[in-house]
Amino acid sequence: MTGCGCTFFQRHLAGDRGPSVGAKRARVSSSPPPPYPPSVKGGEGTMPVQGQLFSRQTQALFFNYKQNPVQRMLDFDFLCGRTTPSVAGIVNPGADGFHKLFFGQEEIAVPVHGSVPSACKAHPTADVFINFASSRSAYAPSMEALKQETIVVVVIIAEGVPEQDTKRLIAYARANNKVVIGPSTVGGIQAGAFRIGDTGGSLYNIISCKLYRPGSVGFVSKSGGMSNEMYNVLARVTDGIYEGIAIGGDVFPGSTLSDHVLRFNNIPQIKMVVVLGELGGSDEYSLVQAMNQGKVSKPVLAWVSGTCAKLFSSEVQFGHAGAKSGGELESAQAKNQSLADAGAIVPDSFEGFEALIKKTYDALVAQGKIVPAAEVTPPTLPEDLHSAIKAGKVRAPTHVISTISDDRGDEPSYAGVPISAIIENNYGLGDVISLLWFKRSLPRYCTRFIEMCIILCADHGPCVSGAHNTIVTARAGKDLVSCLGLDAPTFVEGMKKKGLRVPGIGHRIKSKENRDKRVELLQKYGRANFSSVKYMQYAISVEAYTLTKASNLVLNVDGAIATLFLDLLDSCGMFSPEEIHEIVNIGYLNGLFVLARSIGLIGHSFDQKRLKQPLYRHPWEDVLYATHF
C-alpha cells in the first residue's frame, strides 16, 4: 500500500524528471497509512454511474419554481451554445401551465407541472431532478423523483434536511442505481455543457472562470462557496475544469468525494483531479482507501481545510453541519497527511495549493498528457431591459399613459394621495371618486353629493333590464370560516399537503420588518369597532406561523380584508352562521373587490379619453407567440 501513491505519482507526473512536482512524496514511503475510521466504506465505488453524469444534451426538471436559478441555468446554456434548454420543465405542486423565461434573446415558455410523476411523464428524456424545496419539504419530492424510472440524478439544494431523511434517500438511491448530490449543496457544473442552479455564481464569474467550455480538470469539493473560488484558481493556472461537483456540507452527503473522484478517473477528458475536503467526518478517508487500493490512476491534488481548528481549545463547529472538529482522525491535519500518504499531492497550506496545481498541470502539458483546451469567445448575453434602463444604457417607449394613479413603490396613490392617507383622513367613497375621476379633492358637500347619487341609483329593483347580477365568484382554496377549528400550523401544513398556498399570505415587498400600513390600519379599525375579531386573530396566528418559514410571508391586504369581513359578518349579530357561509361561498367578498375596482376602471377610461389617446394596438414584440401550447 505504502508505495501505491508513489507509483501512481511517478507514473503520471514525475516521469523521467523525478519527483519535481511533489516534494511531499518523501512522506509517502516513510509512514504507513493511518487506520481508517471504522465507518469508512469508501473506495468501493458506491455510485452506479461510473462516468459522465451530464452532457450538452442533459435536461433537468426543476422542483419549486425559483425564477433566478432557472434563468441562470438557461443563460449558461446560451453561453455554451446549447441548442436545447437544460431545464425541460418546472415542478410546482398545485400549479400547471408554463413560465416565460429567456433562452438567449428569445423568450420561451417552460412547462410547469403540478406533480413529479406528471413532469417525468411529460419529459421522459430529462434525467436530472434539481430540488429547490426548503429543508422542511425536500425529502418527499426527492424520494418521489428517485422512484421515477426516468430520473438518474437527484440534486438537493436545501441546507438542514434531517439526517434521518437523507440516510433514507441515500439507501434508496444506492439500492436503485441512482445518484444523489447534496443536500446542502450548490450543485455542480459540467463546463460547456450543463449547470445546476446557481453553481459558478454570476455570469461574470462563469466567463472569468471559463466555465462555458470544457477544460481538463475534475474538481470535487464539499463547499459550494469554495467551489467558486477554486473554479477561479483553476481557470488561472490550468485550462479550467471539465466538471465540478459540490457534494454538500452535511454529515451524510448523498454522494461522496471518492464517488466523484472514481467517476472522474473514468472520464478520458479529465486529466487531473482536484479535491477540496473539510475537517469533520470521514469522507476523505474513503478517497484515501480508493487511492491505496490503486483505483485512482490520475493525479489527485487535495487540500482539507480547517487546519485552524487546532488553534481552539474546545470543539469547533464551522459553517457546514459536517465541518465539526471531532477526534484526531477527523482533523484537517490527519486527513491531509493520509491523503499525502496515499499519493495525493497536498500543499502545506491552502496558499500553496495554486502553485502545486500549476506545477502539476504544467508537467502534464509538458509530457503531452494535456493538450490545453482551445480558447473560445462566448457569445454576449443580451442584457435585461430592466437593468439596461436602470443603468441608463437604453430607453424604451411606454405604451400607456396614466395620470390618475401610481402603483409603483410601497403603496398605491390616487391622484398623488397615498391610500393609507386616504384612510387616515377618513376620506369617503365620494372623495375617492373625486381623486380618481376628477384628479382633485372636491369639497365635502360635492363628494357627499356624489355619494348620494350612488346610493340613490344603486338599485332599481329586479325588473330593470340592466340590473343583472355580476357576482364574480372566484373562490380561493378552503374557506376561512371552517378553518377556525384547526390550529394555525395544522391549517398551513394541511394546505401545503394539498399543494395550495394560503391565500392572503405573502407579499413581494412587505415583510416582518417592513409591515403593510394598510393592513395595520384595517386591523386597528377592526379592533376599535368590531365586538370580536377572532378571524383576524386567527389570520395573525397563521401569519406568526408562516413568518417562521420566511419573513415575507406576512398577512397581506387581501388577507386582512377577507378575515375582517368575516369578523364584521360574525360579530355584528345580524347574520346566522349559515348565512355567513352562503355569503362567503357565493362570493360577496369578490363583489366588494369588483365594486371597488370599478371606480378605478371607470377613472382609467375617463383618463384615456381626456388624454385623447389613439386606438390602442399592443406591440408584437411584447407577445410570446406560443402556438404549440
From 328, 416, 296, select the one nearest 45 (Cα to Cα). 296
Distance, CA of 378 to CA of 384 (rounded, Å): 18
Tell me how far, at minimum, the Cβ of 360 lies from ligand ACO, in Å.
Answer: 26
CB-neighbour burial class of residue 11 (10 A; exposed 0-12, middle 13-18, buried 19+): exposed
Tell me how far, at minimum, the Cβ of 222 lies from ligand ACO, in Å.
Answer: 8
Tell me how far, at minimum, the Cβ of 253 lies from ligand ACO, in Å.
Answer: 12
**Do residues 237 and 358 touch, judged by C-beta distance below 8 A?**
yes
**Closer Cβ to ligand ACO, 47 or 133, answer by number:** 133
From 101, 75, 51, 106, select the one nearest 212 (Cα to Cα). 75
Residue ranges of alpha helices (H) inside 342-390 are: 353-366, 385-390
Q: Which residues pair with 555 in a beta bridge?
A: 505
CB-based closest residue to ligand ACO = 224
Coil, strand or helix: which one is 64? coil
**Closer Cβ to ligand ACO, 345 or 492, answer by number:** 492
**Closer Cβ to ligand ACO, 151 or 553, answer by number:** 553
From 79, 84, 85, 86, select the one nearest 376 (Cα to Cα). 79
What are the helix and strand counts (H, E) for the chain?
22, 16
Q: Where on the chain is the footprint of ligand ACO (CB under 6 A)? A: 64, 66, 132-134, 136-137, 157-159, 184-186, 223-225, 246, 249, 492, 496, 501-502, 505-506, 546, 549-550, 553
Distance, CA of 479 to CA of 488 (rounded, Å): 14
Q: Which amino acid is at 530?
A: F
The number of residues in the chain equals 629
**Closer Cβ to ligand ACO, 241 or 342, answer by number:** 241
Tell me how far, at minimum, the Cβ of 196 lies from ligand ACO, in Å.
Answer: 11
Tell me how far, at minimum, the Cβ of 137 lies from ligand ACO, in Å.
Answer: 3
Q: Which amino acid is at 93?
A: P
The answer for 401, left when phi > 0, alpha when psi is -120 to 50, beta otherwise, is beta
Tell me how far, at minimum, the Cβ of 72 lies from ligand ACO, in Å.
Answer: 13
Residue 386 is among the residues annotated as catalytic for this protein? no
Coil, strand or helix: which one is 129? strand
**Closer Cβ to ligand ACO, 140 or 388, answer by number:** 140
Q: Which of 12, 99, 260, 320 is catalytic?
A: 320
**Closer Cβ to ligand ACO, 89 or 248, answer by number:** 248
Show which residues are catalytic. 320
